[in-house]
Amino acid sequence: MAPAGDRASFLAAVAAGADAVYLGLKHFSARMQAKNFGLGELATLVDFAHERGVRVYVAMNVLLKPGDAQAASGLIERLALMVKPDALIVQDLGLISLARQAGFEGEIHISTLANATHPAALNVAKALGATRVVLPRELDLDEIKLMAESCPEGVELELFVHGALCHCVSGRCWWSSFFGGKSGLRGRCVQPCRRLYRQGGAKGKPERLFSCQDLSLDVVTKPLLNVPKVSSWKIEGRKKGPHYVYYVVSAYRMLRDNPNDATARKSAYSLLEQALGRPGTHGRFLPQRPFPPVRPSQETASGFLVGQVKKDSGNKSYIQTRMDLLPGDLLRLGCEDDAWHQTMPLRRRIPKGGRLDVPRHPSGHLPPAKAPVFLIDRREPELMRILADLEKELSARKTPSEKEASTVTPTVFEPPTRHLRLDMGVYRAMPKGAAKSAGKGRGGDTGVWLERSSLLDVPRPVTPRVWWWLPPVIWPGEEERYRNLLAEARERGAKMFVLNSPWQVGLFENKEGVRLVGGPFCNLASADTAAQYAELGMEAAFVSPELSGEELLSLPRKSPIPLGIVLGGFWPLGITRILAEEVRVEEPILSPRGEVAWVRKFGSNHWIFPGWELDLAAHRRELEQAGYETFATLREYWPKFLDQNTRTSVFNWDQGLL
């Protein structure tokens, strides 16, 4: 399954023998930096692909915001009428009902951003009408097999085999949003994890502490051929060019079709080396031989090193190329952190060993000697001829005009009956004195993260009055432990549970006598999503706190269930399963701008926190008037190094969320 961010990459995928292509539209795509497609152009491309037996999937895999429903419904309606793609890939569960209302009859695939990380999620996905689930990139082979063994009839699995890795778990990263309102959940990530950070204070060495190498399962993919239910190998790269798409698709097709051919494996590996990606890693895929995807001292930018900057007698910058460079090649000088960073398109051939002058950066900065220069994209003649032939055939077709605006009327939900407003402190363990007031109204409600130690610390008579919070991520091997924990909690009288992934409703085969609430880590941000949660059995939900103030205030009046919000406390930049050995927990980490972050481990995951708390207390009155029912504060203990008089944050309250 190949990525396509533009027309040329789409044709490259078809030429390389892809079985399916996934892509995005101009709106509602989790890769908004890609060129993406208009409906008229896409309709022609889909017909072209279908004639060749290639399926096409459209990714509408973003978080839905208040006010998005009509635009999304209209776009899906036109997509269904004009384009007829084989499937929609969705992150936000509210899009499933919108798609069906808009008349879309194709398949529904659950994006990896939806965070379906444990086996029970697959049954919930089937109940929602999904036919495929894209697995998290953090799973190892044994965990993939566990998911496959639990996969119900009518649902299949898709697995990433190649491409960029996020440091944080997909759907569990607010890093980019925290630092400026550009949300990865909305397709606008500015990749703050790729930057240089200092550990231990200003004197620390700048390193890429969180920048991952590319996933490349290449020669270890053979075991996947025997895993049932894994029906698709997915290649990441919708911002990549046709060269990357053609080479990577060709390589993995070769590995799939010739698993026992050593010569084919060698050829495939050679193709991947020429694909101009980042250094590759098997990551966690082999449980007995995990390969750390983060190596702080190494460069992780994409491209093939073609030379280093030299200075001539006139102090002019140039490189002496290590390979032939072709017209249309795109070079990258340095990294985004460097003041002299720039990209340089070539207009003429430079032979191996030839001189290429490096222009001065528009800001006036000169690159230092030995600054690296990388080839990041190219247009070799043979591939260009192949694409030109396909383009000639495609251009003979008439591009249909786009349909008029949608007539779909989104569902208007009746607001819920107002309840007593509650404050809730959420703790890792029951604090001293809290047991007496738990469940007794304003200021007395207590939430506790569900672990066995915290469960046993709470007196049995108090257990029914506590809101038990499940973690934002449960991995396949952890599901049985949490099922047992939930059973033990219920045996001790627990009734109220906050689920921090909508898939966790699948852990409750018997919901009699329990109250389920969607937690803030579910990323709920629209009334349609709230309605979907209600269908899953949740009586209320917390909204995502990353929305703007205007968006937050508009939600309760439209929601069919009562809503709560995180009013304060430590909200994470992200949650990760991988952490470089060099990164030390409970120590300050400075961003390029001197902002403090720190890492703390809970269970098998690491939480990366900013050095300041979220604080929306000044807007509490507005939130109450808007209709919010419950106000939670996430009570983490302060790291010793951090000044408690530090700044606070209102997240994106004062700015729009892109």
Mind listing the pLDDT tens digit for each residue in 604-622? 999 999 999 999 999 999 9
Going through 334-380 in order, the beta strands assigned E by DSSP cover: 342-345, 355-357, 372-377
Q: Name the least confident of 415-429, 546-560, 596-610.
A: 415-429
The yes-or-no verdict on residue 298 having pLDDT over 90 is: no
Element holding 256 (H helix, E strand): helix 242-257
Selection from 319, 334, 308, 326 nearest residue 378 by Cα: 326
Instruction: Give every CB contact of residue 305 below 8 A, 6+ residues apart in sequence.
Output: 322, 372, 373, 374
Compute the average pLDDT of residues 307-335.
Answer: 91
Compute the average pLDDT of residues 579-592.
Answer: 94
Indicate the pTM of the whole model.
0.95
Selection from 501, 434, 492, 454 nearest residue 602 by Cα: 454
Alpha helices in 276-344 (DSSP H): none
Distance of alpha carbon 172 from alpha carbon 523, whole angstroms:
9
Q: What pLDDT is attached to residue 412?
A: 80
What CATH number does domain 422-569+614-649 carry, 3.30.465.10, 3.40.50.150, 3.20.20.70, 3.40.50.720? 3.20.20.70
**130-178 tens-digit pLDDT:** 999 999 999 999 999 999 999 999 999 999 999 999 999 999 999 999 8
Residue whose tokens read 């050679």: 270
Distance of alpha carbon 99 from alpha carbon 288, whole angstroms:
42
Annotation: CATH topology of 2-160+210-298: TIM Barrel (3.20.20)
Confidence of residue 443 (pLDDT cuts 50, 70, 90): very low
Confidence of residue 30 (pLDDT cuts 50, 70, 90): low
Going through 416-514 in order, the beta strands assigned E by DSSP cover: 422-427, 445-449, 466-469, 496-499
Exposure on the CB side of residue 289, measured as CA atoms within 13 A:
4
DSSP states of 217-231 as a string? -GGG-GGGGGSTTEE
Cβ 493 vs Cβ 459: under 8 Å: no
Q: Which two tokens stand for residue 448?
A: 């506790």
Q: What pLDDT is attached to residue 397?
A: 85
User: Widest CA span of the chain, in angstroms?
Assistant: 83
Percent of the chain with pLDDT over 90: 78
Domain residue spans of the chain: 2-160+210-298, 304-377, 422-569+614-649
Exposure on the CB side of residue 476, measured as CA atoms within 13 A:
19
Domain 2-160+210-298 identical in fold to domain 422-569+614-649: yes
